Amino acid sequence: MKVLIIGGGGREHALAWKCAASPRVEHVYVAPGNAGTAAEPNVSNVAIAADHIDGLLEFARDVPIDLTIVGPEGPLVGGIVDRFTAAGMRCFGPSRAAARLEGSKAFSKDFLRRHRIPSASYATFDASDFDADYVRSQRLPLVVKADGLAAGKGVVICDSHATTIETARAMLGGSFGVAGQRIVIEEFLHGEEVSFIVVAHHQQVIALATSQDHKRRDDGDRGPNTGGMGAYSPAPLVTPALHQRIMNEVIRPTLRGLETDGNPYTGFLYAGLMIGADGTPNVLEFNCRFGDPETQPILMRLDSDLVELCEAGLNGTLDRTEVRWDSRAALGVVMAAAGYPEGYRKADLISGLTQAARLPGKVFHAGTSANDAGVVTAGGRVLCAVGLGATVRAAQRHAYDLVDVIHWDGVQYRRDIGARALAREA
């Protein structure tokens, strides 16, 4: 069969690599892909942007493509699955209506409250009803969130009432474009974050391996928030008892709620959770897709056929599907461009990729492109180097062995990916 992966980041490189390993797959196309997907055996790039739904549909019909897997949230929230399905094409992901769980924070907060799923208390405002007195009556710190998609940047944690009001007014005034026309102001939650990702079809669900990512740019969880500077799987924080609580208190009620609301969910569903001191799994956010960079270490551990898993999701046979995992830990270190996450530099020549390819583990590309000189940087997050090992310590060593042979001008990465898991291991 022929598979189309939509997107061009590290997540999509991992999805394409894993799909190409399926004995059932003849060829994988990635739109638009990156220099890493272009170099994978049985994978080729197609120069169509991930949000150009008409172009993607035309390509998928022409080939024809047997299965499309959508990486990023933009096309999902834009209704790509509805369009493909209406055209008789098999496309794995949630409908536009179900993807509102990520596409609108106000929708998702109202959904969580209605279905009594644990989450921070909140209020929603637009420019006409913003209430500074409400803000002044709340305990600090407070979190201000743009309602719509803001590429991971629409969340601001505020330590004073004045900054909260200022941030809220700036967002409502257009600092985040249309994404900030509505805002959510919520309670700040304490605890430890985990990523919990499942494959779902209506109320059928298979939990994937657990993972934890590192959102801050610098060592010791300092510096600005980013899309993620590294991740590892499994997350030792998620004991079997906590796993069960997350399934019973978050995942199952969410899938049930979506179905009873008339928006049944199919696809990868990502719950970003803050685990409180008493073990309560509070939902920070939902993503209607696989996480990036969590996908890279999670798929390194997946022994089962990813294509079969997505097909079972589409066919509604997840209850008869088993997923096998490599028992080893996987740890991925993101290598980012100079300046990331603000305006970052592009077109720096990357050295050491051939040497890295001879080492154990795998280097997934994110923001890269190829020109006559070789592979160059083309995005903020450039590569994710993933190691596998019997312990997190061993996986970490293999990941940094890869990182240590790769270089470009201004490269930045954290040296402490996996620190929390290592502390638990010790």
Query: Taking the complex as a whole, how short is the minimal distance between the CB of residue 150 and ligand AMP, in angstroms?
Result: 8
Query: Taking the complex as a whole, how short is the minimal distance between the CB of residue 181 and ligand AMP, in angstroms?
Result: 17
Q: Which long-range contacts (CB under 8 A, 24 or more apart) does 88-91 make?
A: 89/57, 89/60, 89/61, 89/64, 89/65, 90/66, 90/314, 91/67
**259, 202 Cβ separation under 8 angstroms:** yes
Of 18 and 145, nearer to ligand AMP (C-beta) is 145
**411, 344 Cβ separation under 8 angstroms:** no
User: What length is written for the chain?
Assistant: 426
Q: What mask of x and - would describe binding to ligand AMP in positions 27 to 66, judged by CB under 6 A?
A: ----------------------------------------
Query: Between residue 118 and residue 137, which ones bind ligand AMP under the rule CB under 6 A?
Result: 120
Residues 6+ apart with CB under 8 A from 369: 34, 35, 375, 376, 378
Of 42 and 138, nearer to ligand AMP (C-beta) is 138
Judged by CB under 6 A, which of 147, 285, 294, 305 binds ligand AMP? 285
3-state secondary structure at position 398: helix
Specify burial of residue 51 (Cβ count, 10 A radius: 0-12, 13-18, 19+).
Answer: middle
Query: Between residue 169 and residue 228, which ones bind ligand AMP under the rule CB under 6 A?
Result: 186-189, 193, 215
d(CA 190, CA 173): 29
Residue with tokens 């949630």: 94
Of 120 and 309, nearer to ligand AMP (C-beta) is 120
Of 145 and 201, nearer to ligand AMP (C-beta) is 145
d(CA 132, CA 55): 45
284 is a site residue for ligand AMP (CB under 6 A): yes
Residues 6+ apart with CB under 8 A from 257: 111, 114, 115, 117
156 is a site residue for ligand AMP (CB under 6 A): no
Helix count (H) and strand count (E) of the chain? 16, 22
Q: What mask of x and - would describe binding to ligand AMP in positions 80 to 119, judged by CB under 6 A?
A: ----------------------------------------
293 is a site residue for ligand AMP (CB under 6 A): no
Of 35 and 197, nearer to ligand AMP (C-beta) is 197
DSSP 12-29: HHHHHHHHHTSTT-SEEE
Query: Taking the complex as a whole, how short is the minimal distance between the CB of residue 218 and ligand AMP, in angstroms?
Result: 15
Residues 6+ apart with CB under 8 A from 423: none
3-state secondary structure at position 97: helix
Query: Taking the complex as a whole, how short is the minimal distance between the CB of residue 273 and ligand AMP, in angstroms?
Result: 10
Query: Taking the complex as a whole, how short is the minimal distance between the CB of residue 287 and ligand AMP, in angstroms?
Result: 8
Of 289 and 365, nearer to ligand AMP (C-beta) is 289
Query: Residues touching ligand AMP: how many (CB under 6 A)?
Result: 13
Query: Between residue 251 and residue 280, which ones bind ligand AMP under the rule CB under 6 A?
Result: 272
Cβ-closest position to ligand AMP = 285
Query: Taking the complex as a whole, how short is the minimal distance between the CB of residue 325 and ligand AMP, in angstroms?
Result: 25
Binding site residues, ligand AMP, CB under 6 A:
120, 143, 145, 155, 186-189, 193, 215, 272, 284-285
